[in-house]
Structure 1
Amino acid sequence: MPRGKPSKTAAKNILTAALEVFAEKGFVGATMDEIAARAGVNKALLYYHVGDKQTLFSQAVLDALAPVQQAASEVAELRGPAATRLITLQAAFARVFTTHPHLPRLVLRMLVTELEHIPAEVLQVMARIFGVTRRLVTEGVAAGSLKAANPALVHLSLIGTLGLAWEAGKLLDRLKQLGLVEEPLPALPRESLAAELSQILLYGIAKEGSQP
């Protein structure tokens, strides 16, 4: 268990370094030595102030998800059509990804290979965020503005696709540099990418009245 508190600057450096290393190496591959080195602190002090690797993993993820949860709560209280608020929710995620650029990769990694290492408190936050999507879908269906849909699939489509596209955008940027693709790509930060994804996922790309 943590036995003390580092300074605000040291604490921020530790959480930032931890998020980066966990995103790059995963929970199993990450080491306290590398996290301490990136944070510019002694490993002994890291254990003293924070605790073990599992504790640090939990703190780093919760710190990164805090603005996501706050943004989701604010979107839930907005007025207007459910689809518009779903678009606003995805844009809020994009803003958080801009300030926490390692978060999309870490979330994708957790979902694919790190499920057993996700702490209960992190799962609770993720469930609350998903609850906002469920609420918006339920309201939209009740109002007749949305078709009936599985809220979990809506959430994964809007948020999961954004995280994947955010990371895949780096590949597309590389292909663009090599002259292998011609399509213009959204420049970082990719909030424009979030807006376009929302339109495609919620409204599709087929023109009204056209045959599928």
Structure 2
Amino acid sequence: MNGIKKRRAEARKVSNDRYVKRRQEVIAAAAKVFKENGLAATSIDDIAKATGLNRASLYYYVGDKHELFGEVIIDVVKHNVEMAEKIRDSEGEAEEKIHQLFGSLLRSYNDYYPHVHVFMQEDFSQISHNKASDWLDLQRRFDRALIAIIEEGMQRGSLRSDLPVRLVAFGLIGMVNWTHRWFHPDGPVSCEDVAQVFAKLAIEGMRKAG
């Protein structure tokens, strides 16, 4: 195993196109297996079977299933966090920003399915310990961006200020997160339709009367 680990480290350092492409295929295959079985019930043999590799060959691309779990979703999560921060820092009213945020999140869920499904259904404590602080930082960055948008609306008077801002933010996040239980890109409802309904519910619920 130490020999394979060394070869894997060397391959990542060189990062040739063939290796990168094959590793991305392994990550995509793992995402489907995690979605179907869940992380706990998925073995490295399940992932090897889905990729068409034997166990030894799979270890050339990834150390273990927990590393794969992190790799499945890290790029999407980073993209969504950066998107939320960009919307927060943009011009416009808070209501418009909330609408943009819902639209961007639901499009991400649609475009990166089943990766985001895995992200929302699993326990992040299963991520490798050396990555745990990175995930916590990403989560906090997203929370801060959304809270800032809501606070901006409250301060400018467009959103009601009699609601706890953090509770409102977590409620909005929960609306999106729960979609993993029923939304599918090929289903009867589009991501744009979901985003429109969610944004309307959120904005009208928070809009200051009068």
CA 1:21–1:150: 2 relative to 1, 3 Å: farther
User: How many corresponding residue pairs?
Assistant: 189
Residue 29 of structure 1 aligns to a residue whose secondary structure is coil
Provide the C-alpha distance between the structure 2 equivalents of 1:10 and 1:51, rounded to a whole number of angstroms. Answer: 15
CA 1:197–1:99: 2 relative to 1, 3 Å: same
Write the mapping of 1:5-16 to structure 2, written as runs, cut at 5 A.
5=12, 7-16=19-28
Provide the C-alpha distance between the structure 2 equivalents of 1:127 and 1:24, rounded to a whole number of angstroms. Answer: 29
Give the share of equivalent positions with the same residue, in percent. 23
**Alignment-mate amino acid for residue 90 of structure 1:** F
**Alignment-mate amino acid for residue 176 of structure 2:** L
CA 1:169–1:54: 2 relative to 1, 3 Å: closer
1:53: Cα distance to partner? 1.9
Tell whether the 8 Å contact from 1:85 to 1:136 is kept in structure 2 after alignment.
yes
Tell whether the 8 Å contact from 1:86 to 1:136 is kept in structure 2 after alignment.
yes
Provide the C-alpha distance between the structure 2 equivalents of 1:93 and 1:51, rounded to a whole number of angstroms. Answer: 30
Tell whether the 8 Å contact from 1:133 to 1:151 is kept in structure 2 after alignment.
no
TM-score by length of 1: 0.76
**Alignment-mate amino acid for residue 194 of structure 2:** L
The corresponding residue for 1:141 is 154
Write out the 4+ residue segments of structure 1 that deviate beyond 6 Å after TM superposition.
none
The corresponding residue for 2:195 is 194
Residue 67 of structure 1 aligns to a residue whose secondary structure is helix
CA 1:48–1:104: 2 relative to 1, 3 Å: closer
Residue 39 of structure 2 aligns to a residue whose secondary structure is helix
Unmatched tracts of structure 2, length 5 or more: 13-17
Residue 40 of structure 2 aligns to a residue whose secondary structure is helix
Tell me the C-alpha RMSD between the 2 structures: 2.6
Of the three residues 110, 115, 126, the one matched with 1:98 is 110
Of the three residues 19, 25, 28, the one matched with 2:31 is 19
Residue 59 of structure 2 aligns to a residue whose secondary structure is helix
Q: Deviations over 1:27-84 (max 9, x none)?
A: 2112112222223333323223221222222222212313212321221221111121
